Amino acid sequence: MAELHGNFSLLHRACTLLVAVCILHLSVVIFFYLRTYNIVARVQTPVASQYITTTSVPTTPEVATEGNKTLQYCPNTPPKLEGPLYVDFSEPVKLEGIMKNTRLALGGHFRPSECVSEQKVAVIIPFRDREQHLKYWLFYMHPILQRQQLDYGVYIIEQGYMEALKEYDYNCFVFSDVDLIPVDDRNIYKCYDQPRHLSVAMDKFGFRLPYNEYFGGVSSLSKEQYLKINGFPNNYWGWGGEDDDVYNRLTFRGMSISRPDHQIGRCKMIRHARDKLNEPNPHRFSRISQTKQTMEKDGINSLSYSVMSWEKNRLYTKVVVDIGKPPHL
């Protein structure tokens, strides 16, 4: 009997030990399961938030092409802006210093080396027989655009939108008269949520708008905004009307014009006589009144021209095109 009781006690102790081992094993399993779940949760959370914030400006750095150096996006307010500037047209300017700027790539293309610009900007200048005006523009504007930390290229051309896109994936287009220079570099030549009128206070008009619908001089449109209005009209020959037609197109597509304030948006114009062979278009007012009817069929989808020549130097790309002869006005 004593021997039977001893065996039972031994069996009881063995069972107790086995239960304890099972409980320990189960605890370890539960612990590692919960720990693994937390790790997975922490890894997956940023992925979900990434899709939530895709409509805002990216916050992650990009990798520049120079030596795999990691660069942040350029700040909204560039740190080297000077504010009000002295601009003078009384004396000729020399471009030798700008021509030696090694940060300018052939064709007048610049990218900041210290950060990644959020936009790729094509600056397009319609040009005809204004060599002295162009020298002033290049002399003043290249330093301004570089202080604004823009990834930009300069195109001297009439049909600039299409030709610029052949070279680079621009997503912003600034259209500038060759005789207008901003006198404050805080007037940043880039694109905004709405089409931007940059030359809002020209000395020619007493540093105020000539009328509220004025969209001439210098303006910027994103690629999306430009395509939304079918680009610029092609049926304006001679002087006047096309800027007002573009303003109508923007309003008909539900967009509004954004502008800097009148102090920052000041510009100086180089005084000159009207270009020869560029007489006022006698039909400009009637065509402006028909914008709503013509904009669907007159624009990028009706553009027709031939490229005659390309010229590249350190300061700009010049494209000469043949747009044909004007119809009888």
Which residue among the candidates 151, 184, 243, 245 is catalytic per the annotation?
A: 243
- Within-domain flag for 27: no
| pLDDT for the residue numbered 59 | 39
279-316: per-residue pLDDT in tens? 656 556 566 666 777 788 888 888 888 888 899 999 99
Which residue among the candidates 179, 184, 244, 298 is catalytic per the annotation?
A: 179
Q: 245 catalytic, yes or no?
A: no
Which residue among the candidates 88, 239, 253, 279 is catalytic per the annotation?
A: 239
Q: Between 262 and 324, whose confidence is greater?
A: 262
| pLDDT for the residue numbered 301 | 87
- CATH number where 199 lies: 3.90.550.10
213-232: per-residue pLDDT in tens? 899 999 999 999 999 999 88
Which residue among the candidates 5, 208, 274, 328 is catalytic per the annotation?
A: 274
| pLDDT for the residue numbered 16 | 67
| pLDDT for the residue numbered 259 | 97
Is residue 179 very low, low, confident or very high in pLDDT (cuts 50, 70, 90)? Answer: very high
| pLDDT for the residue numbered 285 | 55
Q: 272 catalytic, yes or no?
A: yes
Which residue among the candidates 272, 279, 296, 322 is catalytic per the annotation?
A: 272
Which residue among the candidates 167, 269, 283, 310 is catalytic per the annotation?
A: 269
- Within-domain flag for 172: yes
- Within-domain flag for 126: yes
Q: 179 catalytic, yes or no?
A: yes
Q: 269 catalytic, yes or no?
A: yes
Average pLDDT over residues 36-41: 34
Which residue among the candidates 118, 151, 177, 185 is catalytic per the annotation?
A: 177
| pLDDT for the residue numbered 54 | 26
- Within-domain flag for 223: yes
- Within-domain flag for 215: yes
87-98: per-residue pLDDT in tens? 999 999 999 999
- pLDDT above 50 (res 148): yes
Please state, for a pLDDT cut of 70, what percent of the chain lies above it: 68
Q: 184 catalytic, yes or no?
A: no
Average pLDDT over residues 101-113: 94
pTM of the predicted structure, to 2 decimals: 0.76
Which of 9-23, 197-211, 281-295 is predicted least confidently?
Answer: 9-23
Q: Between 102 and 135, whose confidence is greater?
A: 135
- Within-domain flag for 66: no
Q: 310 catalytic, yes or no?
A: no
The whole domain housing 222 covers 93-272+280-322
| pLDDT for the residue numbered 278 | 55
Q: Between 143 and 65, whose confidence is greater?
A: 143
- pLDDT above 70 (res 24): no
What's the chain's average pLDDT? 79
Which of 5-14, 166-175, 306-315 is predicted least confidently?
Answer: 5-14
Average pLDDT over residues 168-187: 96
List the Cα angle 146/151/154 in 5-degree steps.
Answer: 80
Number of domains in the chain: 1
- pLDDT above 60 (res 74): yes
Give the 3-state secondary structure of the chain. CHHHHHHHHHHHHHHHHHHHHHHHHHHHHHHHHHHHHHHHHHHHHHHHHHHHCCCCCCCCCEECCCCCCEECECCCCCCCCCCECCCCCCCCCCCHHHHCCCCEECCCEECCCCCECCCEEEEEECCCCCHHHHHHHHHHHHHHHHHCCCEEEEEECCCHHHHHHCCCCCCEEEEECCCEEECECCCCCCCCCCCEECCCEEHHHCCCCCCCCCCCCEEEEEHHHHHHCCCCCCCCCCECCHHHHHHHHHHHCCCCCECCCCCCCEEEECCCCCCCCCCECCCHHHHHCCHHHHCCCCCHHHCCCEEEEEEECCCCEEEEEECCCCCCC
